[in-house]
Amino acid sequence: MRMVVLGLGYLGATHAACMAELGHEVLGVEVVPEKRDSLARGEVPFYEPELPELLKKHIDSGRLRVTGSYEEAADFAEVFFVAVGTPQKKGEYSADLRYVDAAIDQLVPLLTRDALILGKSTVPVGTAQRLSERVDELAKDLEVEIAWNPEFLREGYAVRDTLNPDRVVLGRFSGGRAELTCREIYGAILGADTPFLVTDPPTAELVKTSANAFLATKISFINAIAEVCDAAGADVKAIADAIGYDSRIGRKFLNAGLGFGGGCLPKDIRAFMARAGELGAAEALSFLREVDNVNMRRRTRMVELTREVCDGSLLGKRVAVLGCAFKPESDDVRDSPALNVAGQIQLQGASVTVYDPRAMDNSRRLFPTLDYAASAVDACDSADAILVLTEWPEFIDLDPILLGAIVRHKNVIDGRMCLFEDQWIANGWSYRK
C-alpha cells in the first residue's frame, strides 16, 4: 500500500521506516531542510538503535522516499499519517497543536481524491473531532476521514515497539474505512496475534494519555516512598523488589531515583491536566499535579545531596555528571533531569563536567556553559563528587579503583540506583543514592 508520513522526527521517521519494512511504499514529508536532507541520504539525525540500518535499507531500495512537498504527498497516496510534534505551550500546561493543525491545513486543500488521515501524534482528547470538522470545511466534495492510531513507542526501543507492539489501537468514527485500511496496513503485525482495539476517537486519544499518566504516577509513587525511606532509614530498592512480585503491581517502572523526563511524560501529563480542566473534570486528575511535583523534587534533592557530600557548599567544587540524556539508549535531552541537575549545580558555584555516550551534541546546544569531557574517566578527573544520572551500561561498569586514583574526593551519588553499591563502598567510596 502507498502511504505518507507527515513529520519525520523520532516518531515519524521510525514509523515511516517500519511501514517500509512491512512492505508498504512510503513517502515521508519533512519541512526542516537539514533534517530532510539527512534522512534522504539514509542518515538518522538523532540516536535510535536499529533505525539507521532500517532507514538506509529502505532509502536504498526506493521503498521509502523523503520530500518537503505537500503537493507531492497529496498526489502520492490516499493514506496519511500525522506524526508531527505536540510540545507543551510556553507558559502553559496545555499542548501546542499548531503543527498538527498546520499539517491538516496544508494537506487537505491539495487532495484530489478521497483519503484517510490517521493521527499518530499524542493529542488532547477531542482533537480528532475538531480536526474532522476542519477537514469537512477544507475537503469540499471529497470524503476525507480522520481517525486516531496512537503510538506507544519507547525511545531506545522504537523500532521494536513499532514492529512488535503490545497492541494496536484505532479510534474511528462510524461509517468510514479506517478499520479495514488499518487491518491491511498492519496485516503482518495483527497476523502475529497482536491485540487490535477498535474504538471511538476520544477513547483512542485517552488510551495514550492515560498510559503515560499511569507510568508517570508509578515512577513518582516509588520516588515518594524513597523520600519516606530517607527519613526512616529504609531501603527503597528492597521495597520495590518486594511489592513488584505482586502481579497487580509489577516491577517495571518501579525504580526510585532521579525521576522521569524526556519529550513525552512531563508534557503529556501536564496537557492531560489542562484538558481535564477544560472539560470541567480538573479534580479527577488533581493527583497528577503531585506526581509532577514529586518528580521535580527529585532533582532538587539531588542538588542538595551533592552540596551535602561537598561539605555543605558547592562553591569552587568540581562535580562530574555522568549522563545527559533523559534515559539510556537515547540522545534526547528534552526535559532531561540530568542536565537540569547539572545546570543547578553550576549555578551554585561548582565547576561541572558532563559526559554522555550519545547526547553530547544536543547537550551542548542546550547548556553551552557546562564543561564536556571526551570520556567518563576524563569527566571524573579531580572531581569532588561523581553523579551517575543516566544508567548507561558503561557507567554501571566503571571501575571504582581506577576512578579512586584520579578523583579529589571519593564521593559517588547513584542517581539511578544502578551501581554495585558494595563494590564502591569496599573500595573506600562514600556511596549515596
- The CATH code of the domain that includes 48 is 3.40.50.720
Within this chain, do residues 112 and 233 fall inside the same structural domain, yes or no?
no
The list of the chain residues with pLDDT below 70 reads none
Instruction: Select from 326, 325, 328, 317 the least CA-distant residue to 353.
Output: 317
Ranges assigned E (strand) in 7-52: 25-29
Residues 6+ apart with CB under 8 A from 116: 78, 79, 80, 144, 145, 147, 176, 177, 178, 181
- Please give the Cα distance from 221 to 297 (Å, whole number): 13
Asked which of 148, 171, 199 is the last residue of a domain, the reply is 199
Contact of 118 with 81, CB cutoff 8 Å: yes
Task: Give the C-alpha separation, 322 to 355, whole Å.
Answer: 5
- How many whole angstroms separate alpha carbon 60 and alpha carbon 86? 31
* Global model pTM greater than 0.75: yes
Separation of alpha carbons 362 and 120, rounded Å: 25
Co-location of 98 and 168 in the same domain: yes
Residues 269 and 305 in one domain: no
- pLDDT, residue 40, reads 96
**Alpha-carbon separation of residue 124 from 58, 268, 272 (angstroms):** 33, 9, 7
Query: Would residue 279 count as lying in a domain?
Result: no
Q: Which domain holds residue 100?
A: 2-199
Does residue 289 lie within any of the structural domains? no
Alpha helices by DSSP H, listed for 245-320, are 265-278, 287-309
142 lies in the same domain as 159: yes
> Is there a single domain that holds both residue 187 and residue 213?
no
Helix/strand/coil percentages in the chain, nearest 5: 45, 15, 40
Instruction: Tell me, yes or no, whether 318 and 236 share the same domain.
Output: no
Last residue of a domain, which of 182, 199, 216?
199
Residues 318, 184 share a domain: no
Residue 228 sits in the same domain as residue 179: no
- From residue 120, give the alpha-carbon distance in Å to each of 17, 148, 190: 15, 7, 18
Cβ atoms of 266 and 260 within 8 Å: the answer is yes
| Same domain? 65 vs 103 | yes
| Closest C-alpha to 338, from 236, 261, 420 | 261
The reply to whether 286 falls in a domain is no
Do both 188 and 212 map to the same domain?
A: no
DSSP string, 111-172: --S-EEEEE-S---TTHHHHHHHHHHHHSTTS-EEEEE------TTSHHHHHHS-S-EEEEE
Distance, in Å, from the CA atom of 88 to the CA atom of 275, rounded to the nearest integer, reads 12
Question: Cβ of 248: how many Cβ atoms within 10 Å?
Answer: 5
- Tens digits of residue pLDDT in 10-44: 999 999 999 999 999 999 999 999 999 999 999 99
Instruction: Report helix, strand or coil for 43.
Output: coil
Q: How far is it, in rounded angstroms, from Cα 85 to Cα 392?
A: 27
Amino acid identity for residue 131 in this structure: L
pLDDT of residue 279: 98
Residue 282 lies in a domain: no
Q: Which of the residues 18, 182, 264, 310 is marked catalytic? A: 264
Total domains present in the chain: 3
The Cα 420–Cα 397 span in angstroms is 9
Is 264 considered catalytic here? yes
* CB-CB contact of 77 with 19 (8 Å): no
Q: What is the pLDDT of residues 372-420, one digit of tens each?
A: 999 999 999 999 999 999 999 999 999 999 999 999 999 999 999 999 9
Same domain flag for 35 and 127: yes
Pair (121, 161) in one structural domain? yes
pLDDT of residue 127: 98
285 lies in some domain: no
pLDDT at position 140, please?
A: 84
Residue 340 near residue 299 (C-beta atoms within 8 A): yes
The residue among 179, 199, 219 that closes a domain is 199
Domain annotation covers residue 284: no
Q: Are 119 and 149 in contact (CB under 8 A)?
A: yes
CATH (domain of 258): 1.10.1040.10
In a domain, 26, yes or no: yes
* 280 belongs to a structural domain: no
pLDDT computed for residue 4 by the predictor = 98
